[in-house]
Each structure stands twice: as structure tokens, then as C-alpha cells.
Structure 1
Amino acid sequence: MANEYIDIETLKYLLYDVHELEDVVRQDRFKDHDKESLNMFIDSVKEFSDRELFPYIKEMDEHPAYYEDGKVIVHKQVDVIMKKSGEMGLISGTFDYDAGGLQLPMMVYTASAFIQDAANNHLPGYLGLTIGSAELIVHFGNANLNEIYVPKMLSGAWGGTMCLTEPQAGSSLSDVVTKAIPSDKGHYKISGQKIFISGGDHQYAENMVHLVLARIEGAPQGTKGISLFVVPKKRPDKNGDLTPNDVTTVADFQKMGQRGYCTTHLGFGDKDDCHGWLVGEAHQGLKYMFMMMNAARIAVGRGAAAITMAAYQASLQYAKERPQGRKLASDGKKNPEQGQTLIINHPDVRRMLLLQKAVAEGSLSLVLLASKYFDLKETLQDKDEKEKYGLLLELIIPMVKTYPSEMGAQAVSNGVQVLGGYGFCSDFILQQYHRDIRIFSIYEGTTGIQSQDLLGRKLLMENGKALKLLTNEIMQTIEQASKYDELKKYAAKLGDKLQLAQKVIGFLIGFAQKGDYERFLSDATPFMEFFSNITMGWVWLDIACHSKNALITAQKKYTEEFYESKIHTMKFYFKYELPKTNGLADILMNEEILTIAGEQEVFN
């Protein structure tokens, strides 16, 4: 197994140099932090991950979570990460001081969680769901709920989940039927079932705090009638003693990947004794849940980017050690007397490695950018600037979630190919990464859902204001890149792609203006690929600008080879990935309609 899973220099370069974390830390909320203290925090997470996460990733796959006698049994490292993360502030990091948090920037939390995800993607989800459910209570719950639940959750003693999906509803949350009947004692009687609940039960949590979407008896149909409830596995009394709360673990789903990260089927109220407490106002549950969704979707993109990075490191190490074949001579022939060459010297292997590098590092940069927008939206005082970063965040979120998930899977598949037959064998980690990453395009809204959100909502938001803001950001990078002779032609290429995007968007919006929304959204997923590809071209041109500036000004924190590798990867992206937008544009502007159901059935 590879002995490294992350390029920590690249992480810090993107964090501090490209995305300028120190500027964000100047906001009042983060005034107690500086680069030195934040670096210490990140380094401590790396050390922790080296010791407690990475050594167990294959073991957790080979010995997955399982269901037995009404309980889910998980690997012992779940206990370690929950308790140690509570002590280290990995759960409480972004929370206010008043809630027991560290008031860390989202950028720093994202960087630290990226390290953990890359080390062992089966473990950080237990923390992430606890963080998400605690955030819901902090933001929308009353003082009593905050006092009872949040401290235990942030310490890692109690776990947390978010319970949305039901067997009959899937992603269609308007069809949620879990019931909540009010009692005269201040709580509600909850009854129903939830499926695909990540981290929903395990033997190392003293209690599990479920944030459950349910419909109060008599509530309106559809999403407007859904409320949010705290439903603990065990309900604490006024003395803090815990009593079973009629929450049943029905099963654990056995999965192709992330086998150490349990996924449960939960039943509520089978004995008519499941108590739930309303969070915030009635019928506002979906609104509350989706106010937390930006952070959740950043987390999904981050996890996919991290697996892509770990797979890249593993296949790169293999390519540097594996001799096979011989380099072609200038006459196109091989000399059988010449010794074998390492496979990293073969052009096709280098192509696959460069794709992995482009996707892994580019995805990380995109995720950190979203985290920066998140921090600025939350902390800036100027109303216009706050709105600007809020709109930019909303627009890129579907791509942040989708690009690392979809292209990460392709990149990891390339990693398997680099190893050849060994990549398909369980002795090597690549096949596990290939299985682990597949779920990320499904988590927190599938690619299809994210694509419809991007095209159908985000592009049209506030009469296209967010799109104009993003275009301005891209144009600034194009202008900067145009100052460097080496980058000029790439700046021009990206400018051409922006014009192509305007043409495609204009064509598609024409259908919306005519009221033909099914046609407008029918190719939303190809549009996601098209627009993400252009956005990633911007991300890579920005990285290249910072690298070129460091080389020219001699303000080098890293080696010359480090910066040159970033510029080279940008060039690779522009040669091998960005041109794919031309074919996608042809698809998107093709008048022929082939995927909308009509009178004649084509599947027979």
C-alpha cells in the first residue's frame, strides 16, 4: 500500500497563496487566529490522520460495518475518531465560542477535513453528520435543545444524523410521510421510517441525535408542510439519565464502497413511544435543512477531491517504482538489449497521471474557493460584498459537489489503469478508491438534481446576477494571465469558452422563456459538464497565474519545479479537457429531442 495519501505542500499553497486565507482571517470573527496557529492545527490533523486514520482504511473495507441483534457494529477506530476529534476541536471547529467552538474559518476546517478524507474516507463522515445536526440545533433550536444536546455532540460523546430519505420518497422530499403528532407535554409523537441514514447507529456513541423531517398532523401537502425535529435514540430526563426513545435500527445497508461508514435503515415509533422536539417553527423544516446544505455539498465535493488525491498519490508512487517495457528510440523501434524503463516514462501513463493531478488539485482548489466564499458571506460587514459572495457561492455549489464526484471517479479509474492488472487486485488500494468514490455523485442530491439546480435555478437567480459576477471573476483572471507571455494564449482560449458559454446559455434559456421547461432542463447534466469544464479552466488558469508570478518575482516558498508543475498541469487541462466543451456545446444546441418521453415508447 502507498505510504502517502496527500500532497500537503499543494494543500497549503492553494490555501494560503492562491486563495489567500490570511485575508479571510482578518475578519473580526477570526481575529484570534493567525497563519502560525492555523498551520499548527493543520499539521496536528495530518499527524493524527497518519496515526489513526490512514493505517486502517483497507482494514475497514475488509471488515465492514454490519447489523446484528438490532445494532450496527463498526470498526474500533470510529470510537477513536469520535473521542479524539472532540478533544482536538475537529467537531466544534467552526462553531461560535459561545457554543464551545473554535471559530475557525470554513477554509481551515475544509483543509483539515480534506486531510482526514484522503487518509481514510470511511471515518470523517461520522464527524460531518454530527457537525451538521448540531449546527441545525444551534441555528434554529431553542435554548433547551442547545443546552441538552450540543455540548455532548461537540465532545464526540453523542453522534448526530440528518434523516431525510424515506423508502417511498427517495429524493422527492415533498412525498415525506413520517408523522408528528403533538402531545400536551411539549413533545411530538414521531412515527415513520428513514433509509440511507449515514452514521445512523453504532456501538461507540452513548446516544444518537437524529434530525428528522416529518409532517405534523394536518400540515399542508408538499414541501411546505414539512417540519424538523430532534429525535434522540435515547431521550435524556431532567437528571441527564437516558431512556430508550423507541428508535429502532432496522438494518445496515451493505455497500460496494465506503464499507466502514455505516448506512442505516431507522424506524421511529413502532411502539408509539418515540418523542421528538420541534426545531424552530412548524412547516419550516425543509427550509432549515437546506440552509445547511451548502456546507454539506462542499463536504461531498471535498470528500471526492480527497479520494481523487489519495488515488493519484498511490498510482504516482506505483508508476515511479514499476519497471515495464522500453522507451521508443528515435526510429520508433525498441532496443531489446536496453533495460526496462519505469512506466512513468511512458507517454500514455503520464497522460493518465496528469489527468489525475489536474482533477485532484483542481477540485481541491474549487472546494477551497467555495469555502472562502462561505467565510466571506458569513463575516463581511459590507452589504454589497456580502451579497456578492453569497451569490457566487450559490452558483458554484452545484459544480463544487458534482465536478469532483464525477470527474474524480474518472480520475480514479485512470489510476486503476496505471496499475494495469494489479489495479484490479485487492492487494492494491486503487480498486478500493474506485469503489469508495462512486457514492459521491449520489450523496446530497444526485448529479441530475445538481444539474437541474445549476441550470434551472442558479443561472437565472436574480436575473442572472450571479452569472455576471462569476463572469467578472473569470475575466479578472484572464486579464491577469494576459500579462504573462507564457499564459497569453491560454487566457485567450478561456475567453473564447466564455463566449461559447454565453451562446449555449442563450440558446437554452430560449426554451424557458417559451415556457418549455422540460426541454430547457432535459440536457441539464451535459450542461453541468460543459459549464464545470469552463469553470475548472478558470480555476487552473488562476493557479498558473499565481505560480508564474512566484517564479518571476522570485518570491518562491516552494521549489521552481513545484510551480512549473502547476503551470504544466494547467496546459494539460487546456489541451485535453477544455476542448471537450466544443462537443458538449454541439449536444446542447442540437434541436433534436431524444430524451423526453412521448407517445411512442422507445424502450422495448
Structure 2
Amino acid sequence: MAKEYIDIATLKYLLYDVHQLKDVLKQDRFSDHDEASLNMFLDSVKEFSDRELFPYFKEMDEKPAHYKDGGVEVHKQVEVMMKKGGEMGLISGTFDYEAGGLQMPMMMLTASAFIQDAANNHLPGYAGLTLGAAELIINFASKELNDTYVPKMLAGEWGGTMCLTEPQAGSSLSDVATKAIPQDDGSYQIKGQKIFISGGDHQYAENFVHLVLARIEGAPAGTKGISLFVVPKKRPDENGNLISNNVTTVADFQKMGQRGYCTTHLDFGDNDDCKGFLVGKPHQGLKYMFLMMNGARIAVGRGAAAIATAAYHASLEYAKERPQGRKLASTGKKDPEQGQTFIINHPDVRRMLLLQKVVSEGSLSLVLLASKYYDLKETLTDKEEKKKYELLLELIIPMVKTYPSEMGAQAVSNGLQVLGGYGFCSDFILQQYYRDIRIFPIYEGTTGIQSQDLLGRKLLLEDGKALQLLSEEMTQTIKNASKYDELQKYAVKLGEKLKEVSGTIQHLVSFAKKGDYERYLSDATPFMEYMSIVTLAWVWLDMAAHAKYALLTGDKNYSDEFYESKIHAMRFFFKYELPKTDGLASILKDEEVLTIADEKEVFI
């Protein structure tokens, strides 16, 4: 195991200097918070993660969650995570005071969860899913359901889940078949199965509160007929005692990674005695669930960024300590008399490490930016400004979920490569990070689904208003960076790239205008990669501009070397990553269509 898993200075630099948390703290909702108190909270989360999460990371992989005697057994630290999560506000942090929360900005909760994810990505999900389920109840359910379930969830005594996926439906929620049959007492009899339910059962919670998508008898077909229900594992009887609610744990999926984070198969109502309680109005379930989905997708991007970060620090530490080979002399030959050098001095190792750095830190910056947009769209009173940040958030969410997941996996793969053969061995932690991060491109809507959302829905949102707003944000960064001689050529590059993006999008949209939507969306995933790289170039240029400002003005919280490292990383991204968009643009503009099935089937 490495000695460290994050650079807290980089996290605070992004939070306070680059993304200006103080702009969010100006809102009335957060008037009780200031940077000093929130910094203390962040430090306490780091101390908790150092003590209770990071030391158990490898052990939880070696002793995975597993099904036994009708339930799921998990590592003992799950109990610590839930109880301390309740005590420290890690579950309730962003909720209203009236609901038992701390009214904390999403930016801060995201930063604190990032630390936990980097320390041990197998544990925070138990609290995170409970948070998500409680949020749905608080926002959309009756006072009775709130009073019955939310307090114990926020305290970490009861777990919470979100149950969408079914064996026959997968990601196609229009095919959800779980039934909800109205009962005389106002409840519903629930009958069906759900799979891939994260945190769905374990021995350290007295009860589990499942938020279940189901179809009321006689409901319309497709997604318009789906409703949302609170379905507890145990329901209170007329005396308030908990009794079985006929929710059965069928199995726990054994996974290649995140083995300490249980993934259950649940059966509802096999004895026809499973009660569900309607959340909000009938047939609005998918709408309610997806109103919470932005937070869930930020969380997935955050988790992937955290794993990539931890892997980077592990491979960086190894590279600094591993002697192997010799540096090339000025003659181009190695001097056998010269002593071995540490592998961090080899250019190709440095390239792999820098790739890890730009992906992990760039991803974290993008995730924190999305959290800021979330805070502003929720708290601003000016309608135009509120709408602006709502549209910006909607546009970048698919990239926030996808780029850290997809490129994070590539970054961790490079980290494993830094270790050579040792990276492939279980004695070293890189192989575990590699296995853990591979699920993230699948979580909360696969890369293909996110890509179709970006190109098919978000790009055209309000006649392209969201894209226009994002272009304006990028243009402002280009202007800021152009003030500094060292950054001018990079600002010019990004400006030229924005013009290319506009032309590429016009080419693709022409198919949509003609009604050829299958052709329009057929290369949605290459477009996702293309747009994400450009967006990350903007993110890095913004980081570099803030670093340059600090160096020139002397308004510094960190060393000169710290700021110079951010500028160097930006230059690396512009040399090694941004040019990839040239090839992607060529793919997107190519007239040949090879992936659409037609009458003449080609063997693949």
C-alpha cells in the first residue's frame, strides 16, 4: 500500500482558488458556513479516512461481501462507515436543517466524499446510496413516510437503496415489470425482482429502505407508467414494531472489483406480503428518480476520479523508489559504470505518470465544477442566472460521469504499467485499483447511454442554449489565459478547437434535421470522447490561468513548485491529449456508415 492516496493541497486549491467556493457561500442557504469551518470539516474527513477507511482497503478486497444463510455478510468497517457517516453528517450534509441536515454546499460534500472514495472506494457507497434514497423521500414523499424512515437513515442506522434494474430489462427502464397492486389500506402489494442493487443487504443495518420503480396495475406502457415506492425490508406494524415485509435477498453478485461493496439480487413479494408505499403521484416514478440522477452521476464521476487519484499516488511513490536502468548519456548510449537511476527519471515513465496526473486532477476539477453548478442552480434567486447554471449542469453531466470513468480506467492502466510485472501481481495495489475502476463506465447509465444523452438530448437543449453558455464560459477562460505570455499559445489552440467543434456539431446536426436520428446518434460515443477532451482542455487552461495569476501576484497559498506543476500538466494535456480530437473529428465527419444494421446483415 502507498503511504498517501490524495494530495489535499490540490483538492483545496481546486475547491477554494479555482472554483471559488466563496461564490457559493454567498447564498442565503449557506450563511452559517464559512471557509474556515468547512476546512475543519474537510480535515476531519481526511483524518477519519486515514484511520477507518484506507487501512482496510486491501483487506476488503481479499475478504469480499458474500451471500450466506439468506443474507449478505460484509466487512466490519461497513458498520463504522454507516455509524460515523451518520454522526459526521456524511449522509445528511446537504439536507435542510428541518430534515436533520447541515445545509452544506454540494461542493463541500463532493470534496469530502472524494477523500473517502480515494481512501477506500468500497465503503462510501453504503452511505451514499442511503443519502440518495433519503433525498427521494424528503423531496417527494408524504410527511408520514418522512417521519417513519428518514431519521434512522440519516443516522446511519438504516440503509437505503435505489432499485431500478430488473433481470429482463437491464438499462431499458421502459420494460420494468415489477407490479404494484393497490390495497384497501392505501398501500400497494409489490411483486417482482431487482438486480445489481448496491448496498442492498448486510448485517450492520437493522433495516433497509428500498426505493423501487414498479408499475401499478393498469398503468400505461413504457416509462410513462412507472411509479416510485418506498419498500422497506421490514415494515412497522400498528405498534411500531418492525416485522418482515417479504423482501428476500436471493444472492450477492461476485465481482471483479469493488468486492467489499455488496451488489444484491432482491425478490419482492414471493409470499404476496410485500407492502410498498407510493412516493408522490402515480406514474411519475421515473421523473422523481431522474431528478436525483444528476447527484448520482456526479458521485460516479467523483468515485472514478478518486480511484484514478489514489492509483496515481501509488504508482508515483513506486516510481520514486524503484531503481532500474540508467539514463541515456549525451552520446545516446548508456554508461554501464553509472549507477542505476530511479524509474521516475525515464521519459516514458514520466509520460505515464503525467497522463495519470492530468486525468485524475482534471476529472476532479470537472466534478467540483459540476457540484458548483448544482449549488448555484439550487440557491440563486435571479431566474436567468438560475437557469444558466441549470443548463450548464445538464450539458456537462454526461461528461462528468463518463470522462473520469473511461479515462480514469486508462490512467490506472498506465499506473499499473509503471510498475511493470509487479503491477500485475496481487502484492501491489495497482491491480486492485484497475479492477475497481472498471465498473464506473457501467454505473448509473453506461458510456453508450451517457453519450446518446449528450448528443441526443443535452446538446440540443433549448435550441442549443446550453452549448452556447458553455462556449461562453470557455471563451472567458481563453480571454483570461491570453493575458499571460506563457499561456497565450494554449489559449489560441483552445479557441481554434472551439471553432472546429462548432463545425463538427453542425455536420452531425444536419442528420437530425433530416430526421435521420439513427445516423445522428450512431457515433455518439466518439462524440462523447471528442467533446470531453475539449472540455478538459478548458478545465486545465483555467487551472493554469489561476496558477499563473498566483505566481505573478504573489497571492499564494502554496509553493511556486505547486503552481508550476499545474501549468506543466496543462501543457502536457495540450500536447498529448488535445490533438486526439483531430482524429475523432475525422471519424465524426466521415460519410461512411458502418455500424447501423440494415437488411443486408454483415457478419461481425
- 1:590 matched to 2:579? The reply is no
2:67 is aligned to 67
Letter in 2 for 1:108: M
1:238 Cα offset (Å): 4.1
1:159 Cα offset (Å): 0.2
2:157 is aligned to 157
2:169 is aligned to 169
1:241 Cα offset (Å): 1.1
2:111 is aligned to 111
2:509 is aligned to 509
Identity %: 79
Letter in 1 for 2:425: C
1:22 Cα offset (Å): 1.3
1:487 is aligned to 487
- Corresponding residue SS for 2:438: helix
Letter in 2 for 1:170: G
| 1:484-524 deviations in Å (ceiling 9; x for gaps) | 00000000000111011001100000000000000000000
- Tell me how far apart the structure 2 counterparts of residues 533 and 602 of structure 1 sit (CA, whole Å): 32
1:318 is aligned to 318
- Tell me how far apart the structure 2 counterparts of residues 433 and 49 of structure 1 sit (CA, whole Å): 17
Task: Give matches, 1:436-585, under 5 Å.
Answer: 436-585=436-585
| 1:262-293 deviations in Å (ceiling 9; x for gaps) | 00000000000000000000000000000000
1:423 Cα offset (Å): 0.4
- 1:274 matched to 2:274? The reply is yes
2:379 is aligned to 379
- Tell me how far apart the structure 2 counterparts of residues 477 and 309 of structure 1 sit (CA, whole Å): 25
| 1:428-484 deviations in Å (ceiling 9; x for gaps) | 100000000000000000000000000000010000000000000000000111110
- Tell me how far apart the structure 1 counterparts of residues 7 and 595 of structure 2 sit (CA, whole Å): 42
- 1:352 matched to 2:349? The reply is no
1:556 Cα offset (Å): 1.1
1:231 is aligned to 231
- Tell me how far apart the structure 2 counterparts of residues 309 and 541 of structure 1 sit (CA, whole Å): 20
| 1:228-274 deviations in Å (ceiling 9; x for gaps) | 00000000124331000000000000000000000000000000000
| 1:365-410 deviations in Å (ceiling 9; x for gaps) | 0000000000000000000000000000000000000000000000
- Corresponding residue SS for 1:439: coil
- Tell me how far apart the structure 1 counterparts of residues 29 and 10 of structure 2 sit (CA, whole Å): 26
Letter in 2 for 1:470: L
- Tell me how far apart the structure 2 counterparts of residues 157 and 481 of structure 1 sit (CA, whole Å): 49
- Tell me how far apart the structure 2 counterparts of residues 354 and 462 of structure 1 sit (CA, whole Å): 38
- Tell me how far apart the structure 2 counterparts of residues 239 and 350 of structure 1 sit (CA, whole Å): 65
- Corresponding residue SS for 2:334: coil
2:3 is aligned to 3
- Tell me how far apart the structure 1 counterparts of residues 184 and 175 of structure 2 sit (CA, whole Å): 27
1:26 Cα offset (Å): 1.2
1:148 is aligned to 148
Task: Give matches, 1:114-263, under 5 Å.
Answer: 114-263=114-263
- Corresponding residue SS for 2:337: coil
* TM score, norm. by length of structure 1: 1.00
Letter in 1 for 2:292: M
Letter in 2 for 1:514: K
- Tell me how far apart the structure 2 counterparts of residues 227 and 65 of structure 1 sit (CA, whole Å): 31
- Corresponding residue SS for 1:235: strand
2:339 is aligned to 339
- Tell me how far apart the structure 1 counterparts of residues 309 and 446 of structure 2 sit (CA, whole Å): 22
- Corresponding residue SS for 1:462: coil
- Corresponding residue SS for 2:464: helix
- Tell me how far apart the structure 2 counterparts of residues 360 and 286 of structure 1 sit (CA, whole Å): 32
| 1:147-201 deviations in Å (ceiling 9; x for gaps) | 0000000000000000000000000000000000000011100000000000000
1:413 Cα offset (Å): 0.1
- Tell me how far apart the structure 1 counterparts of residues 37 and 22 of structure 2 sit (CA, whole Å): 12
Task: Give unpaired runs (5+ residues) of structure 1.
Answer: none
Displaced runs of 4 or more, over 6 A = none
- Corresponding residue SS for 1:181: strand
Letter in 2 for 1:268: F
1:264 is aligned to 264
1:599 Cα offset (Å): 1.9
| Equivalences, count | 604
- Tell me how far apart the structure 2 counterparts of residues 160 and 3 of structure 1 sit (CA, whole Å): 33
Letter in 2 for 1:500: E
- Tell me how far apart the structure 1 counterparts of residues 194 and 74 of structure 2 sit (CA, whole Å): 20
- Tell me how far apart the structure 2 counterparts of residues 194 and 224 of structure 1 sit (CA, whole Å): 19
Letter in 2 for 1:488: Q
Task: Give unpaired runs (5+ residues) of structure 2.
Answer: none
- Corresponding residue SS for 1:211: strand
| 1:267-323 deviations in Å (ceiling 9; x for gaps) | 000000000000000000000000000000000000000000000000000000000
1:363 is aligned to 363
1:14 is aligned to 14
- Corresponding residue SS for 2:466: helix
Letter in 2 for 1:546: H
| 1:31-66 deviations in Å (ceiling 9; x for gaps) | 000011000000000000000000001000001000
1:598 Cα offset (Å): 1.5
Letter in 1 for 2:94: T
- Tell me how far apart the structure 2 counterparts of residues 514 and 560 of structure 1 sit (CA, whole Å): 54
2:45 is aligned to 45
- Corresponding residue SS for 2:565: helix
- Tell me how far apart the structure 2 counterparts of residues 239 and 358 of structure 1 sit (CA, whole Å): 57
